[in-house]
């Protein structure tokens, strides 16, 4: 250990300017990588390329057509949309949507290809055609459009609500394959279109949603969090440090160490071409909190020692006293962050790796460059507040001693209660809640979901058992039965399937007799109807979005009501089970969708991060037991580190009952953070016990208590700021980590001293 102290303390202090030059060079090399950082706008960045759900989803899109879309929802607050002005507005919006960048197809009530019979002919025309000028013809047309729209299964509850007050225009967007960020262009075009629509139809409400808008929101959130949260956190930290140290220079050096750690970690991420996402965007704030903890202990020790020692000696002693616990806490924090690599979500793995890298730089700079800077800059403080705090903490420790057994009994009871609540906690997500409530996407999504459910859908690829079999009566019978089963489910608001087209065509070919709204009786008849219908469709309105080219598979889309991830997984499994038991001429080869792959991600991450958190807990425990060299203290150290996450999840369960994807990462992140105070406290306790102190608990509390308080306050402040992230996953993750940190403070200042006092009592009686 002496060689390590010489390397990290003595050598840099003997050559402070050389140490400064070395780190400036490292900083410059790392900083060059910042230019390679980019922001990902694709929701697919949350998945590995090998993710089976994403692979199945991509396969369906390749077979049929892309489902990335911008969805416009038009709503009339009173009355319905079946009047000339509103129909004309919907017609205008449908045509305007085709002008959006990368738009390939628009589906709406206006251009829905409605088929009907006229004598012996089959006619196919848009549901809303050009509006006539004369009043009688116009009134007749509006009545006809309303009757057709509200009676057509492929239109009602999908493109128009059953009450006729809400219409949907779905614009399919094919994003460029080169990965360029075209979202700002699309967003600008959507905003311009919205403004034009509001000028044209001021009495209507217009909302937008869709996968493309979700991706645009992710992009905006990442930028917003980096530009807003980071400056807020920096100002908050500066104020806290200036108050605690009573020195502007000391606070400035802390911020310098933090900035250096962040730039170097993010720079290396840039060298590796890491793309920032809403999940990795908060990495600078996480590094900031970790880096500050190390710097606070060094500066606090230096300021205290410099009152009785010369500056060089004070800096050397500050490093010698804190080197071991800083290296130890850095190691345990790194273990916690690296356990995020068990995650199935690449951005969370990158968040863990970047944060671990920042932790490495923070620890190294704090014990090498920081002491040298303390000597070079002449930092000093006349503040006496820390002495008063130390005195109060000494007195507080004295009050704990006679109550230690009561505290341990109370803590045990609370732990058992928390465990009971945690056992009741269920894991599920509602995906529109991933975006913060203040975001326009979230507001529009909730507005839409209340009026025309369209955000959650499952796509099933229904494959015939014979080539070209989509017109086979047995296949169509299976498809129809499956569609009817889905329609009967209370979780499903609408089903769009190929058999609905053939039933309408069969009715058309029998003079629109409602009694013939059924499937054609023979394969040849169904194929003839299909060919006739396709020949009547205008360019761009073909059936490639629901039929494969070889006519062997069709796509069935089930639109769902607002569902949690668990409910969606259950419904899909029930659908697959039903198909396996009841279909004879067809089978389901997929049950996918954007929301579905996120639902499976929640489940797989929960399983993966349970293992990751367990590995992190075991790794951190072994490190502490080995480092402390005392198995009793090692076991004692587990209590204030394990109980805070348990208490946090127990309280969360009591308040909410469910936890989402974010919950999978809390233990891994929190474990590495909460161990810092425990390690510093036990290090000092072990030191003062060996030195023969009368009350090593109180002496340790007075020595490291003030630094633990300020570092804990900074951690709480840092994750408190992150709770305001517009990306709800990070916000909710930070709320749970924040709860864990608060319980960790209570555990370190109340439960840990009680444990140590009880251990002393047991040793004395033994």
Instruction: Write phi, then psi, for 658 (nearest 5 degrees).
Output: -135, 155
Contacts of 397 (CB under 8 A, 6+ apart): 695, 697, 698, 701, 702, 753
Residue 680 or 156, more confident: 156
* pLDDT score for 240: 82
Q: Are 510 and 516 in contact (CB under 8 A)?
A: yes
Kindly state the tokens that stand for 462: 């229904």
pTM: 0.82
Kindly state the tokens that stand for 56: 């199945």
- Helix runs in 565-593, H state only: 565-582
Q: What is the pLDDT of residues 63-117, one digit of tens each?
A: 887 778 899 999 999 999 999 999 999 999 999 999 999 999 999 999 999 999 8
Q: Are strands 38-39 and 275-276 parallel, antiparallel or unpaired?
A: parallel
Report the distance separating Cα 356 and Cα 439, nearest Å.
Answer: 31
Residues of the chain above pLDDT 70, percent:
97
Q: Are strands 492-496 and 586-592 parallel, antiparallel or unpaired?
A: unpaired
Instruction: Give, in order, the Cα–Cα distances in Å from 234 to each of 65, 229, 357, 657.
Output: 47, 9, 20, 34
Half-sphere exposure of 455 (CA within 13 A, CB side): 25
Average pLDDT across the chain, whole number: 86
Domain ranges in the chain with CATH number 1.20.1640.10:
2-32+215-432+598-765
Kindly state the tokens that stand for 115: 């088929």
Half-sphere exposure of 23 (CA within 13 A, CB side): 23
Q: Is the per-residue pLDDT at 522 higher than 80?
A: yes
Nearest of 155, 156, 187, 161 to residue 173 by alpha carbon: 187
Report the distance separating Cα 606 and Cα 428, nearest Å.
Answer: 10
Contacts of 40 (CB under 8 A, 6+ apart): 218, 219, 275, 276, 277
Contacts of 201 (CB under 8 A, 6+ apart): 74, 85, 86, 89
* pLDDT score for 385: 47
Res. 766 pLDDT band, cuts 50 70 90: low
Q: What is the pLDDT of residues 534-546, one digit of tens each?
A: 999 888 788 888 9
Cβ atoms within 10 Å, residue 671: 26
Res. 383 pLDDT band, cuts 50 70 90: low
E strand or H helix at 38, and its extent? strand 38-39
Q: Are strands 426-427 and 553-560 parallel, antiparallel or unpaired?
A: unpaired
Return the CA Rg of the chain: 32
Report the distance separating Cα 94 and Cα 108, nearest Å.
Answer: 7
Res. 2 pLDDT band, cuts 50 70 90: low
Q: What is the pLDDT of residues 292-305, one digit of tens each?
A: 888 888 888 888 88
Decide yes or no: CATH 1.20.1640.10 for domain 2-32+215-432+598-765. Answer: yes
* pLDDT score for 103: 92
Average pLDDT for residues 685-705, to the nearest whole number?
86
Average pLDDT for residues 376-385, to the nearest whole number?
65
Q: Is the per-residue pLDDT at 585 higher than 80?
A: yes
Average pLDDT for residues 377-406, to the nearest whole number?
76
Q: What is the pLDDT of residues 294-348, one digit of tens each?
A: 888 888 888 888 877 888 888 888 888 888 888 888 888 898 889 889 888 898 8
* pLDDT score for 513: 92
* pLDDT score for 8: 59
Q: What is the pLDDT of residues 227-279, one digit of tens each?
A: 888 788 888 888 888 888 888 888 888 888 989 999 999 999 999 988 888 78
Res. 155 pLDDT band, cuts 50 70 90: very high
* pLDDT score for 348: 86
Q: What is the pLDDT of residues 191-201, one digit of tens each?
A: 999 999 999 99
* pLDDT score for 384: 45
* pLDDT score for 386: 52
Q: Is the per-residue pLDDT at 177 higher than 60?
A: yes
CA triple 350-70-126, angle to 5 deg: 155
């Amino acid at each position: 250990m002496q060689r390590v102290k010489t390397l990290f303390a003595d050598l840099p202090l003997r050559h402070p300017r050389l140490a400064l030059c070395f780190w400036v060079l490292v900083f410059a090399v790392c900083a060059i990588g910042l230019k390679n950082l980019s922001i990902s706008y694709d929701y697919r960045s949350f998945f590995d390329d090998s993710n089976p759900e994403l692979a199945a989803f991509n396969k369906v899109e390749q077979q049929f057509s892309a489902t990335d879309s911008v969805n416009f929802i038009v709503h009339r607050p009173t009355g319905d949309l079946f009047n000339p002005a509103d129909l004309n507005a919907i017609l205008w919006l449908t045509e305007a949507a085709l002008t959006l960048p990368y738009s390939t197809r628009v589906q709406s009530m206006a251009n829905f290809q409605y088929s009907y019979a006229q004598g012996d002919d089959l006619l196919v025309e848009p549901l809303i055609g050009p509006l006539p000028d004369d009043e009688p013809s116009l009134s007749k047309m509006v009545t006809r459009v309303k009757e057709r729209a509200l009676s057509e299964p492929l239109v009602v509850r999908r493109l128009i609500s059953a009450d006729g007050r809400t219409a949907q225009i779905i614009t399919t967007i094919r994003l460029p394959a080169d990965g360029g960020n075209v979202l700002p262009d699309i967003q600008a075009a959507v905003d311009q279109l919205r403004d034009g629509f509001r000028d044209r139809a001021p009495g209507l409400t217009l909302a937008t949603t869709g996968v493309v808008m979700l991706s645009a929101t992710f992009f905006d959130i990442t930028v917003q969090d980096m530009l807003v949260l980071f400056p807020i956190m920096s100002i908050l930290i500066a104020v806290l440090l200036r108050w605690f140290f009573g020195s502007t220079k000391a606070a400035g050096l802390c911020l310098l160490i933090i900035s250096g750690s962040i730039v170097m970690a993010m720079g290396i991420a840039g060298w590796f071409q890491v793309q920032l996402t809403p999940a990795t965007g908060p990495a600078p704030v996480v590094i900031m909190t970790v880096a500050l903890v190390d710097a606070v202990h060094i500066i606090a020790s230096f300021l205290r020692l410099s009152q009785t020692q010369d500056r060089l000696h004070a800096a050397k002693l500050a490093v010698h006293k804190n080197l071991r616990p800083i290296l130890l806490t850095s190691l345990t924090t790194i273990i916690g962050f690296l356990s995020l690599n068990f995650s199935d979500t690449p951005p969370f793995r990158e968040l863990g790796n970047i944060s671990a890298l920042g932790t490495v730089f923070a620890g190294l700079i704090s014990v090498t460059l920081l002491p040298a800077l303390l000597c070079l800059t002449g930092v000093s403080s006349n503040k006496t507040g820390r002495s008063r705090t130390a005195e109060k903490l000494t007195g507080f420790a004295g009050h704990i001693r006679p109550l230690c057994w009561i505290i341990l009994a109370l803590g045990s009871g609370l732990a058992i209660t928390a465990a009971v609540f945690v056992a009741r906690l269920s894991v599920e997500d509602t995906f529109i809640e991933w975006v913060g409530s203040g975001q326009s996407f979230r507001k529009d999504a909730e507005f839409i979901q209340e009026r025309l459910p369209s955000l959650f859908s499952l796509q099933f690829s229904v494959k015939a058992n014979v080539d070209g079999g989509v017109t086979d009566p047995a296949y169509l019978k299976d498809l129809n039965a499956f569609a009817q089963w889905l329609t009967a489910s209370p979780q499903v608001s609408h089903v769009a399937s190929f058999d609905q087209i053939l039933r309408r065509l069969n009715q058309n070919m029998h003079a629109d007799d409602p009694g013939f709204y059924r499937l054609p009786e023979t394969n040849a008849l169904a194929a003839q109807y299909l060919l006739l219908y396709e020949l009547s469709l205008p360019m761009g309105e073909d059936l490639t979005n629901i039929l494969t080219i070889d006519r062997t598979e069709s796509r069935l889309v089930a639109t769902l009501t607002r569902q949690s991830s668990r409910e969606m997984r259950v419904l899909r499994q029930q659908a697959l089970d039903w198909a396996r038991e009841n279909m004879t001429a067809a089978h389901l080869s997929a049950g996918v969708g954007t929301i579905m792959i996120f639902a499976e991600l929640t489940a797989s991450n929960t399983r993966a991060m349970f293992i990751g958190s367990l590995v992190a807990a075991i790794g951190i425990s072994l490190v502490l037991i080995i480092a402390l060299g005392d198995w009793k203290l090692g076991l004692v150290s587990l209590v204030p580190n394990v109980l805070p996450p348990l208490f946090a999840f127990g309280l969360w369960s009591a308040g909410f009952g469910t936890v989402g994807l974010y919950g999978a990462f809390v233990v891994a992140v929190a474990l590495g953070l909460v161990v810092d105070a425990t390690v510093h406290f036990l290090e000092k306790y072990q030191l003062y016990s060996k030195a023969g102190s009368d009350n090593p608990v109180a002496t340790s509390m007075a020595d490291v208590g003030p630094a633990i308080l300020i570092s804990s306050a900074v951690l709480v402040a840092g994750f408190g700021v992150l709770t305001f992230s517009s990306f709800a996953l990070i916000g909710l993750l930070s709320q749970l980590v924040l709860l864990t940190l608060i319980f960790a403070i209570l555990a370190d200042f109340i439960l840990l001293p009680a444990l140590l006092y009880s251990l002393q009592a047991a040793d004395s009686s033994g």
